Amino acid sequence: MRPIRPGDRGPAVTEIRTVLTGLDLLPPSTDDEFDGATERAVRAFQQSRGLSIDGRVGAETWRALDAARWRLGARTLYHAVPEPLTGEDVRSLQERLLEMGYDVGHADAIYGIRTSRAVAQFQREVGLKPDGSCGPHTMGALRRLGRKVVGGRPQWLRESDAIRQSGPTLVGRTVVIDPGHGGTDPGVVVPDGPLRWTEADLVHDLASRLEGRLAAAGVRVQLTRGPAPETCLPDADRAQLANSLGADVFISLHTDEHANPEAEGVATYHYGTDNGVTSTTGERLAGLVQREIVARTGLRDCRTHAKAWDLLRLTRMPAVRVEVGYLTSPRDRGQLVDPRFRDRVVEAIVAAVQRMFFPVERDVPTGSIDVSELRAVVAAGAVMD
Ligand SMILES: [Zn+2]
């Protein structure tokens, strides 16, 4: 077929313009002329689809435009054999599932077996029949968990409910603590004088202290590694371990590094994507850990950030990665090698975990929880038993 090009008129041009308008690339109009604005929109479309950019609509661009006319929800999607469904709606669905942490591979706009499996998993988790096809009910569930409603995967939303309903006690909770690196991977190494801490050693020390404090408050604690493991466990395996233990909270401990010794401070990370999809409970946990550490240690506040790292994406409970200061900063490092300072960091994390289990409306001010009292509560409970 001869490409449809600038200057052409007719119903084919109207159709092209309609699709481009639907993609927000062209203002709505009933014009049937392939004008300059249409050409620019075609070029933008071609660029976004990785097609060769010539501003004309040949066979390849036509097929892509044809697929693009499907808006998510306009038809039922399913895994068709041998000719799979393709289209913009499939791509939207895949992007949505990826954002929510489901494994669809690439958003390739093809409804293959992997997409079908991811849909089935989503259906199972929201209590729908897991048939792997995306019809009105599944669309409804996807919409209810809308883009900005956030919360990440549905089990996180349930987790958030479970936290609200189970009351403020820490007794009987399971917390998985993940000291980063280890084995063949020491993490950040700063080889100067008495401050020869590696990140792996330092975060394991922090993890052990945290383990002690949480256990004293009645929490079941599991570490993802010992002080000197033979190999370094990949983050995906660490997440899997936390999932298999049914952890209520996951805390990964790291220190940061930077070529500039002036870089310093504490930052926390929770699951989320650039599109604003985030784990609500993870974000809350990260925010609490961040504020408590800043308030109790005076480390510079490098804020809370959303990341789609394996560790955060694959864990099914509120998960936070804490970068407790820069080992490359003489100031941060000088503090971190002081065990009393590390105790303050640990108390801050315990206070944050405690606040995770307070209902939001009964939350307390940052820095106000006396961590030693938690132990008294546990002791009192033990006497009454
Ligand atoms: Zn690290």
Q: Give the CA distances from residue 312 to residues 2, 41, 203, 323, in Å, rounded to whole numbers and listed in that order.
A: 50, 38, 18, 14
- The pLDDT value recorded for residue 164 is 55
Confidence bin at 293 (pLDDT 50/70/90)? very high
Expressed in angstroms and rounded, the spacing between residue 143 Cα and the centre of ligand 1 is: 37
Question: What are the backbone dihedrals phi and psi of residue 121, each rounded to the nearest 5 degrees, phi first?
Answer: -65, -45
d(CA 128, CA 156): 17
Q: Which residues of 246-268 are buried (b: 16+ CB within 10 A; e: fewer)?
A: ebbbbbbbbbbbeeeeeebbbbb
Q: Name the residue with tokens 């792997």.
A: 132
pLDDT in tens, 204-236: 999 999 999 888 888 899 999 999 899 999 999
pLDDT in tens, 127-138: 888 899 998 888
Expressed in angstroms and rounded, the spacing between residue 200 Cα and the centre of ligand 1 is: 8
Expressed in angstroms and rounded, the spacing between residue 188 Cα and the centre of ligand 1 is: 7
Mean pLDDT of the region 57-82:
83
- The pLDDT value recorded for residue 167 is 59
Expressed in angstroms and rounded, the spacing between residue 224 Cα and the centre of ligand 1 is: 14
Q: Tell which residue, 252, 205, 246, has the closest CA to residue 224.
A: 252
Strands 266-271 and 319-326 turn out to be: antiparallel
Expressed in angstroms and rounded, the spacing between residue 239 Cα and the centre of ligand 1 is: 15
- The pLDDT value recorded for residue 179 is 97
Q: What is the mean pLDDT of the chain?
A: 84
Expressed in angstroms and rounded, the spacing between residue 254 Cα and the centre of ligand 1 is: 4
pTM of the model: 0.59
Expressed in angstroms and rounded, the spacing between residue 205 Cα and the centre of ligand 1 is: 14
Contacts of residues 121-126 at CB distance under 8 Å and 24 or more positions apart, as own/partner, are: 122/97, 122/154, 125/153, 125/154, 125/155, 126/154
Expressed in angstroms and rounded, the spacing between residue 84 Cα and the centre of ligand 1 is: 42
Q: Which residues of 34-50 are buried (b: 16+ CB within 10 A; e: fewer)?
A: bbebbbebbbbbbeebe
